Amino acid sequence: MHGQYLNISLQYYVLIQSMKKKSTKEIIYEAIKKADPPYVTIQDIADITKISRETVSKYMLVLEAERKIKVTKIIGKAKLYEAT
């Protein structure tokens, strides 16, 4: 009987802990906001967060569409982003 309660308590604990974790998009956005200097490339964010460049690129497009970040300058193929 106690085993059932323990299992339910453990499931509840795991659920609560998973809700506390930040999403990949939030991690990327926070890294952009905290960047110094304030202008960063996709590669910069990938290096800081240890998230693949391809994933960072995808979420940067989402953040740009949400108007949370903007492209401030283009140097060759690289875009410099900043938080808005």
Question: Is-contact 25 62, C-beta < 8 A?
Answer: yes
The reported pLDDT for the residue numbered 57 is: 96
Q: 22-83 has which fold?
A: Arc Repressor Mutant, subunit A (1.10.10)
Length of the chain: 84
Three-class SS state of 9: helix
Output the pLDDT for position 37.
86
Q: Given this model, what pLDDT does residue 10 score? A: 57
For residue 53, which of 22, 80, 81, 28 has the smallest C-alpha distance? Answer: 28
**3-class DSSP state of 83:** strand
- Give me the DSSP letters along 26-51: HHHHHHHHH-SSS-B-HHHHHHHHT-
Residue 18's pLDDT is 54
**Segments of the chain with pLDDT less than 50:** 1-6
Domain ranges of the chain: 22-83
Look-up of token digits 């990327």: 28
